[in-house]
A and B are shown apart, each in its own frame.
Chain A
């Protein structure tokens, strides 16, 4: 019993580790072919990451990625592919930044709360649209969310960013900057209790706390609530869930709305603690990276956190490689892709091994219970 438990745990942990090892091996090969030393490159990457300032950078990068990963995972849990986190978070960040800049002189908590609520509402509305299209018109959510991404960025934001621009003459015009009352403080003071002073003007975003809250809420929701159970049930077996009284269409709507509301929070680190407005150079691509992180973390809140930190580390490494020139920074892009693809393959391979193990132990168990039957047959 103990041995099989050990085997199962090792298999479970083995898949992501194997994926990372495989990705490192392939990237090393790519580095060797391109004529640079993998050891020098990895040495630089690890040395860089061990600095306190880089650690702050990694946490800042991982924060929105984590929220984005959770947003994608909510859909994935019930086999709903919300590929539109990208458009949802950009649209939400745009409206939230616009609303935050519009009001001034509000009490801080109210101001920040207002921005968060607008963001969640817009995110939920935009993904809810895709949900409604799926439920009422049978349009596949992968296609509709991708189309809505382009409509959000190329249509709505491109249109309104000029209408609502703070300074139309500026080259990088955006929404009106948010007042101090709508800005979240940095967490540097808290971290510095345990460490030395964080230098080089690094600010640890307090949206990190929101990300942690989102992770805990996700965990409780999926594992401790009735509707979370229904989610998982319709993900495992929609027909059985339906027979058990779970309305599939309503589940799809709930999943899309919750996923979208979560996606709305992705841009908040940028809006509330870095840029304080939405402009042309607002960070893009967090939605697709979040999907990668969710796949890496197998929709598990802790797993997604590890995935987000890994991606944050890789993104930061690209910066240091640019400086030390021990390898091309683009190697990081390949590593991300290979890790994700090999991780999903490794998970599936492990699942099949486990399935076989279970079938085997079930067969052994039945043989132990009814040996006489078999003997009679043999006799």
Chain B
């Protein structure tokens, strides 16, 4: 997960007649295999650091961490998918964060009000989609600058949800006081302006055979217990993925191939993508660009709404104000990391979800301390890579940062307690530092399109 610099790099040309090196073989692999290899290398590094790094901790790769990583990457993944749909349709969606906030509230409200997590998921999607619709009206129909509209939605969303929570609280209290049957049965007992009543998530499962669900054998767990270097760690990571797996998580990860299929294998997807690449060309072929931009942005809002619903229902079991903590923007960073492609952004979400987990699980600071070494190793790999590509700027930056972080790691025994909280955001910046120049956004993303213009 951590050695992220290699996968999206452009394939190296070895020159005609050059012997196939390890690197060129790697770059000739299909994309999914490259990503899988990168992930395996990441686990290898984590496990090596954990074993030989000298910190007495197993928090980096134990099953609990990988399971939590999966859960914490879901909001980022869904937000990134939201960004994917919008940007493929040519609309930048900075408002993902606000739409996520709508999703947190509507997800919790749906769960509480209808007494069913499924209703919560649907309500979360609808809430976010309404935010997306607002963004589409402003940007597509009125031609407002995409970032300005997004910022405005980010300002509107928390206020709106605060008002709605207040309404729910009043309605409930009045009903309790007057003992009248209300026209519409709002349920928010025990909630307040800033917090909803408890709203649990979808059921959780242990996958049969792999992680011992339904009384079957626990294959990965037994390998994990053997304490073989790397193999056991890999099994531990996988075991975490399949243990106490929420159905919501499964849905979220299923949306990755589904989105890929919709966008790259259907006529609708083709039309959405042409709206984001060459809208004039699309219009000349009779594609209704406005309509497809609307579809892209509303779906984008829906995804962000799901991301919010996931935070409220699965991560905290409650809606709370200020719960999204910038994860809409991290989703955008994951989208950039994945080069505007579904599988890539999924890996980006796992990568960016990881430090969130350590912030929660690493009480001693030892895990975060080890993570410093992991980051240093990743930077050293980047250093080697940039020397090979003769990229001077990358070499200097990667070298300086690697030395600095290595020194920090060597001179301290534990990470300071503020570091885990800042780590997710530091990670995003570090990764973007070496990524964002080589990538290509949809050609017309961010531009205002006018029919017949």
Given contacts A137-B437, A333-B159, contact A345 B138 (CB under 8 A): yes
Chain B 153-189, CB-CB to A under 8 Å as 1, else 0, gives 1111111101101110010000000000000000000
The answer to whether residues A344 and B138 also contact, given A334-B160, A336-B155 and a CB cut-off of 8 A, is yes
Given A330-B159, A336-B159, A340-B152, check contact A147 B428 (CB 8 Å). Answer: yes
Residue B203 interfacial (CB < 8 Å): no
Would you call B138 and A137 a contact (CB within 8 A)? Answer: no
Beta-carbon nearest neighbor of B158 in chain A:
A333
Stretch from B42-50, B241-249, B263-271, B414-422 at the A interface: B414-422
Chain B residue nearest to A337 (CB atoms) is: B156
A154 B142 Cβ-Cβ under 8 A: no
The listed residue (B143, B152, B424, B434) touching A295 by CB distance below 8 A is B152
CA A348 to CA B426, docked complex, whole Å:
37
Of the candidates A30, A83, A139, A334, the one whose C-beta lies within 8 Å of that of B432 is: A139
Q: Are A345 and B156 in contact (CB under 8 A)?
A: no
**Which residues on B sit within 8 Å (CB–CB) of A150?**
325-326, 422, 424-425
Tell whether B51 is near chain A: CB-to-CB under 8 Å.
no
Contact call B160/A333, Cβ cutoff below 8 A: yes
A-facing mask of B335-376, CB < 8 A → 1, else 0? 010000000000000000000000000000000000000000
Residue of B nearest to A159 (CB): B418
A295 to B155, CA, bound (A): 11
A142 to B432, CA, bound (A): 13
A344 touching B144 in the complex, CB below 8 Å, given contacts A146-B326, A295-B152, A337-B152: yes
B157 cross-chain contacts in A, Cβ below 8 A = 337
Q: In chain A, what residue has the closest Cβ to B431? A: A139
A56 nearest CB across to chain B (Å): 25
Knowing A144-B429, A147-B425, A150-B422, the reply to whether A139 touches B156 (Cβ < 8 A) is no
Count of residues in A whose CB is under 8 Å from the partner chain: 44
Cross-interface CB contact of A328 among B145, B170, B433, cutoff 8 Å: B170
- The reply to whether A341 and B152 form a contact with Cβ atoms under 8 Å apart is yes
**Is B148's CB within 8 Å of the partner chain A?**
yes
A121 within 8 Å of B by Cβ? no
A154 touches B153 (CB 8 A): no
Q: Does B147 contact A (CB under 8 A)?
A: yes
**Contact partners of B149 in chain A: CB under 8 A:** 341, 344
CB distance from A53 to the nearest CB of B (A): 26
B167 touches A34 (CB 8 A): yes
Q: Which residues of A contact B333 (CB under 8 A)?
A: 143, 147
Give the docked Cα–Cα distance between A136 and B433 (Å).
Answer: 9
Decide yes or no whether A326 CB sits under 8 A from chain B: no
Q: Residues of B contacting A154 with CB < 8 Å?
A: 418, 421-422, 425
Q: Mark A158-180 against chain B: 1 for CB-CB distance below 8 A, else 0.
A: 11000000000000000000000
Residue of A nearest to B335 (CB): A143
Docked-complex contact B421 and A155, CB < 8 angstroms: yes
Among A150, A288, A295, max chain B CB count under 10 A is at A150
**Interface 1/0s, chain A 224-248, versus B by CB < 8 A?**
0000000000000000000000000
- How long is the Cα–Cα vector from A59 to B140 in the complex, in angstroms? 37
Does A137 lie within 8 Å of B329, measured CB to CB?
A: no
CB distance from B349 to the nearest CB of A (A): 15
Q: Which residue of A lies closest to B161 (CB)?
A: A333
On chain A, the residues within 8 Å of B434 by CB distance are 137
* In the assembled complex, B134 has its CB within 8 A of some CB on chain A: yes
Residues in A neighbouring B154, C-beta threshold 8 A: 288
Interface residues of B in 270-323 (CB under 8 A from A): none
Contacting residues of chain A (248-267) with chain B, CB-CB under 8 angstroms: none
Residue of B nearest to A341 (CB): B152
Whether the Cβ atoms of B332 and A143 lie closer than 8 Å is: yes
CB distance from A158 to the nearest CB of B (A): 4
Known: A30-B163, A295-B151, A337-B155. A137 touches B432 (CB 8 A): yes
Q: What are the interface flags for A321-338 relative to B under an 8 Å C-beta threshold, 1 for contact and 0 otherwise?
A: 000000010110110111
User: In the complex the two chains form, what is the Cα distance from A147 to B432 in whole Å?
Assistant: 11
Residue B436 at the A interface, CB < 8 A?
yes
Cα of A98 to Cα of B148 in the assembled complex, Å: 35
Given contacts A158-B421, A291-B151, A349-B142, whether A330 and B436 have CB atoms under 8 Å apart is: no
- Considering the complex of A and B, which 9 residue pairs feature the smallest CB-CB distances, nearest first? A337-B156, A333-B159, A155-B422, A147-B425, A330-B163, A159-B418, A150-B425, A341-B152, A154-B421
| 19 CB < 8 A contacts A-B | A143-B432, A144-B429, A148-B429, A150-B425, A154-B422, A155-B422, A292-B152, A328-B163, A330-B162, A336-B159, A337-B152, A337-B159, A337-B160, A341-B153, A341-B155, A344-B144, A344-B148, A344-B149, A345-B142
* Inter-chain pairs besides A330-B159, A337-B155, 20 sampled, C-beta below 8 Å: A137-B432, A137-B433, A137-B434, A137-B436, A143-B432, A147-B428, A150-B422, A151-B429, A158-B418, A159-B416, A288-B154, A289-B155, A295-B152, A328-B167, A333-B158, A334-B160, A337-B160, A340-B152, A341-B138, A345-B138
Residues in chain B within 8 A of chain A (CB atoms)? 94, 134, 137-138, 142-145, 147-149, 151-160, 162-163, 165-167, 170, 193, 325-326, 329-330, 332-333, 336, 393, 416, 418-419, 421-422, 424-426, 428-429, 432-434, 436-437
